[in-house]
């Protein structure tokens, strides 16, 4: 699609979302001399410092998205909160959106996402739509306890999930569904949470990164271990499921597919992200191509690189801390960077909040155990402090 790079008239990539994923996408795009326009409601968002321009507007703002379309040759997104209806309209007018607006529409509704997967014989846990108190009780009778109540839309990092552990939790569950469209999912007794980054371009070429292992704390990703410590049979099964999913969704771009590995060796899809993913950050240092470059290649229908991991790696997140709500400083950088193989990424968000992702550390090593140990050591060196009480310099 894009075989000519005109320096005086470069390809223009519009990105809905200007957080850390948008920033890292923009860095890759600018390396190749493409123009980048960001749409994000936060002035001076992380991606703005490496972009040509920022449109300050809500992710769902119709007029702002239309403006982005007029200034872009291709629109993509780093967050699922965009307005899929207006994106579908823009596609009908001839604008290019990758992944497609239809793909985004399906994935935005987690219940619809599960239904599409089930219709195409892609393994997921059992689920039931919840439309009333009666339907909740009927589903609980079917699945038993525990069970997971999930909001259909606008939820991520576990924020839209409520685990019903016993009958005692039912009153809270009824409160949870009062203002939300929800579905109930059978609780999966998994041995590991894993994910795979997989890309498809418009021509239909599909390539995937190694399967990785994810460790969560309070429903937020804490560490990614690459490659996953599972059997080759599980790796092959996960890759086969991911490839079938990409062929089903027909989306161009990089997708993060989160899965559960069960006690009896089943692999079930948990959720799909039609964009770069936190668990793919390790690819920057540990692979021959990053998830961000692969996404740029995919949305421009350029040839995809066959990903190859160069060394074992562990990625660990840096989150905002409880006693630091506002402007912040990061302390301990010198000690952290003295650890061999450790690389620090600070996203440039202006405000810290408890649990907010403000950076990550990736460590490469000769062994998985070595990478994990060094990543945990490196994370302990870093402190997120209130900048008002810290003397910087």
Q: What is the pLDDT of residues 226-278, one digit of tens each?
A: 999 999 999 999 999 999 999 999 779 999 999 999 999 999 999 999 999 99
Q: What is the DSSP letter of 72?
A: -
> pLDDT value at position 130?
95
Q: What is the pLDDT of residue 156?
A: 64
CB 152 within 8 A of CB 106: no
Structural domains of the chain ordered from first start: 12-97 (3.40.50.20), 126-186 (3.30.1490.20), 190-389 (3.30.470.20)
User: Per-residue confidence at 2, pLDDT binned at 50, 70, 90?
Assistant: low
Decide if 211 contacts 228 (C-beta within 8 A).
yes
Give every CB contact of residue 66 below 8 A, 6+ residues apart in sequence: 86, 90
Indicate if the pLDDT at residue 393 is higher than 60: no
pLDDT at residue 392 greater than cutoff 60: no
Taking residues 165-179, what's their average pLDDT?
Answer: 92
What mean pLDDT is reported for the chain?
94
pLDDT one-digit tens code per residue, 270-283: 999 999 999 999 99
% of the chain exceeding 90 in pLDDT = 87
Q: How many CA atoms lie within 13 A of 52 on its CB side?
A: 17
Q: Is pTM beyond 0.75 here?
A: yes
Structure-token pair, residue 156: 């991520």
Q: How far is CA 135 from the centre of its chain?
A: 31
For residue 148, the model assigns a pLDDT of: 95
Q: Is residue 8 predicted with pLDDT exceeding 70? A: no
DSSP annotation of 110:
H
Q: Contact at 8 Å (CB) between 384 and 328?
A: yes
CA distance 99 to 130: 29
Q: Could you give the CA distance from residue 344 to residue 291 in angstroms, rounded to a whole number?
A: 17
Which residue do the tokens 């161009």 mark?
Answer: 252
Exposed e or buried b per residue across 222-235, where buried means at least 16 C-beta atoms within 10 angstroms of its C-beta: ebbbbbbebeeebb
pLDDT in tens, 214-223: 999 988 999 9
Whole-number pLDDT of residue 6: 63
In angstroms, the CA 291 to CA 280 distance is: 6
Helix axes 110-119, 101-108, angle to 10 degrees: 110
By the 8 A CB rule, do 62 and 83 touch? yes
pLDDT at 1 over 60: no
The confidence score (pLDDT) of residue 128 equals 97
- Judge whether residue 45 has pLDDT over 60: yes
What is the model's pLDDT at position 60? 95
The tens digit of pLDDT for each residue in 328-345 reads 999 999 999 999 999 999
The residue among 42 and 7 whose pLDDT is bigger is: 42
The pLDDT tens digits for 286-297 are: 999 999 999 999
């Amino acid at each position: 699609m894009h075989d000519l790079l005109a320096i005086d008239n470069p390809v223009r990539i519009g990105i809905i979302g200007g957080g850390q994923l948008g920033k890292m996408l923009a860095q890759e795009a600018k390396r190749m001399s493409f123009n980048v326009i960001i749409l994000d409601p936060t002035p001076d968002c992380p991606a703005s410092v490496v972009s040509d321009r920022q449109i300050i507007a809500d992710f769902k703002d119709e007029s702002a998205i239309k403006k982005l379309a007029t200034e872009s040759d291709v629109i993509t997104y780093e967050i699922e909160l965009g307005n899929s209806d207006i994106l579908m309209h823009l596609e009908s007018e001839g604008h290019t959106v990758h992944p497609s607006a239809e793909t985004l529409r399906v994935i935005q509704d987690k219940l619809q996402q599960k239904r599409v997967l089930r219709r195409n014989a892609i393994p997921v846990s059992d689920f039931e739509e919840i439309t009333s108190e009666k339907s909740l009780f009927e589903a609980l009778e079917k699945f038993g306890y525990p069970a997971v109540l999930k909001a259909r839309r606008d939820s991520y990092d576990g924020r839209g999930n409520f685990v019903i552990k016993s009958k005692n939790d039912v009153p809270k569950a009824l409160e949870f569904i009062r203002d939300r469209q929800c579905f109930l999912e059978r609780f999966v007794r998994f041995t590991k949470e894993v994910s795979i980054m997989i890309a498809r371009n418009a021509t239909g070429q599909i390539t995937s990164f190694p399967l990785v292992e994810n460790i969560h704390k309070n429903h937020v990703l804490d560490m990614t271990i690459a490659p996953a410590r599972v059997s080759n049979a599980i790796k092959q099964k996960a890759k086969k499921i991911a490839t079938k999913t990409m062929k089903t969704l027909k989306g161009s771009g990089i997708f993060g597919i989160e899965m559960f590995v069960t006690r009896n060796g089943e692999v079930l899809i948990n959720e799909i992200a039609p964009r770069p993913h936190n668990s793919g950050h390790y690819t920057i240092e540990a692979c021959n191509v990053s998830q961000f470059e692969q996404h740029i290649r995919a949305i421009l229908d350029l040839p995809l690189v066959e990903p190859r991991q160069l060394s074992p790696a562990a990625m660990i997140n840096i989150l905002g801390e409880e006693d630091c709500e506002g402007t912040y400083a990061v302390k301990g950088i010198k000690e952290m960077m003295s650890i061999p193989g450790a690389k620090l990424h600070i996203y440039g968000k202006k405000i810290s909040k408890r649990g907010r992702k403000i950076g990550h550390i990736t460590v490469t090593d000769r062994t998985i155990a070595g990478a994990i140990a060094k990543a945990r050591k490196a994370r302990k060196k870093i402190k997120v402090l209130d900048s008002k009480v810290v003397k910087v310099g």
